[in-house]
Amino acid sequence: MRRIDLRKAQAARLNTIRDINRQIVLNYVREREPISRAEISRETDLQRSTISAIVEALKLEGLVEEVGEGESTGGRRPTMLRLCTKEAIALGVAITPTLTTVATSDLAGRVISQQEFLTDPDPRKTLDEVVELVSKQAQLNRGVEAVGVSLPGLVDPATGTAIYVPYFQWRDVPVGKMIGSAISLPVIIDNDANAVALAELWFGRPEVTDARDFIMVLVAEGVGTGIIFDGQVYRGQRGAAGEFGHMVIGTNAPVACSCGNFDCWEAFSSERATLARYGTLSEGGSSSISFPELVDRALGGEANAKAALVETAHFLSIGISNLVVGFSPEAVVVGGDIARAWSLVEDALTERIERTVRRGLPSARIMPSTLGEKPALRGALSLVLAGKFAAAFAA
């Protein structure tokens, strides 16, 4: 049972119950489409007239549409409903250390269009380019309601500020303000791992979306974690929770962590660490390849590439077991390009965690992300989309 927070509680209004029912109906359509009004009524015990009124409102708002008739269960064939996919509703901006992607998606999270450019270490240059692309898309897509931005660093979602992005040494960049002043749309910013965790919660595989508590481990240039606690992102003070990439797991990492230390989890488990290992194994000959290329080589059977990935998986499993012991989540989802090589890294990833479980702790499933390419982009879009489906108010 959750203690009521009187600073946040809204006294129950007459509208509150209607809002809750509206969100329940919208989520039935999202998860079970195509679905009829009668089916929703049967499953929710809401009256048919209530469902019909809510559906009419959702249709007017452009959230739900009718898609022909379903199978009859005796009487008239029912009209089926699904999420409206006619137009773009969300704009997502994923800023990563290498590429920045700007994309539009429909209500179901399907990407409609995307453009990308090389991220400039100068925040003004990168954000100028973002503003240009975002303004163009907002003009072309009048249905877009908000812009979600994911950043590889510490952000304050409340003020829209990038507090610290280690790769570029950005400090206190008012990202939300810079984008929001150029277009008259709300801008929602978050850390990349939090955003990707949100995407897993709403658009991931059923084993993940059904979990109330899970941890997303995003392996990229660094290692980030997003914690989903009771069906929402756990943020901590000023949104700074989840910086487990900097927990100490050893000494003598192959590269310095983005924070400058050599003993952080990230310094052992990031893509950079894997590439450094590969460079050492290959006697420095091929360390200039990209991480996706390394994964391709490993999948193609190259021994050094496989060995570098397996060693990284070993270090990932050390950190993941610490998280499992501390949080006892239902699942841990591993995202990033390393997830493509799951068949090669799964044993090394789960071995230590299984040993922990044998000591009598409840098990957590360790699984690869199924968000596909560009998880941070899916995350950025989810920052907008999750708001459309989330509970109408916090109880």
State the residues that interact with Zn ion by CB under 5 A: 246, 257, 259, 261, 264
Half-sphere exposure of 270 (CA within 13 A, CB side): 25
- Of 256 and 348, CB closest to Zn ion: 256
Of 146, 178, 42, which Cα lies nearest the Cα of 380? Answer: 146
DSSP-assigned letters across all residues of 164-206:
EETTTTEEEE-HHHHHHTTSSS-EEEEEHHHHHHHHHHHHS-H
**388 CB contacts (<8 Å, ≥6 apart)?**
26, 63, 89, 107
- Of 154 and 179, CB closest to Zn ion: 154
Of 148, 186, 178, which Cα lies nearest the Cα of 386? Answer: 148
Of 278, 256, 275, which Cα lies nearest the Cα of 267? Answer: 256
- Helix then strand then coil, % of the chain, to nearest 5: 45, 20, 35
- Of 119 and 269, CB closest to Zn ion: 269
- Of 95 and 257, CB closest to Zn ion: 257
The distance of closest approach from Cβ of residue 325 to Zn ion in the complex, given in angstroms and rounded to an integer, is 21
- Of 112 and 255, CB closest to Zn ion: 255
The distance of closest approach from Cβ of residue 191 to Zn ion in the complex, given in angstroms and rounded to an integer, is 15
The distance of closest approach from Cβ of residue 365 to Zn ion in the complex, given in angstroms and rounded to an integer, is 27
Of 79, 10, 11, which Cα lies nearest the Cα of 39? Answer: 79
- Of 261 and 356, CB closest to Zn ion: 261
- Of 272 and 378, CB closest to Zn ion: 272
- Of 59 and 246, CB closest to Zn ion: 246
Cβ atoms of 331 and 367 closer than 8 Å? yes
The distance of closest approach from Cβ of residue 224 to Zn ion in the complex, given in angstroms and rounded to an integer, is 11
Cα–Cα dist 75/86, whole Å: 30
The distance of closest approach from Cβ of residue 227 to Zn ion in the complex, given in angstroms and rounded to an integer, is 18
The distance of closest approach from Cβ of residue 251 to Zn ion in the complex, given in angstroms and rounded to an integer, is 13
The distance of closest approach from Cβ of residue 121 to Zn ion in the complex, given in angstroms and rounded to an integer, is 20
**296 CB contacts (<8 Å, ≥6 apart)?**
none
Cα–Cα dist 155/31, whole Å: 31
The distance of closest approach from Cβ of residue 257 to Zn ion in the complex, given in angstroms and rounded to an integer, is 3
On the 0-12 / 13-18 / 19+ scale of CB atoms within 10 A, 83 is buried
Cβ atoms of 147 and 92 closer than 8 Å? yes
Cβ atoms of 100 and 115 closer than 8 Å? no
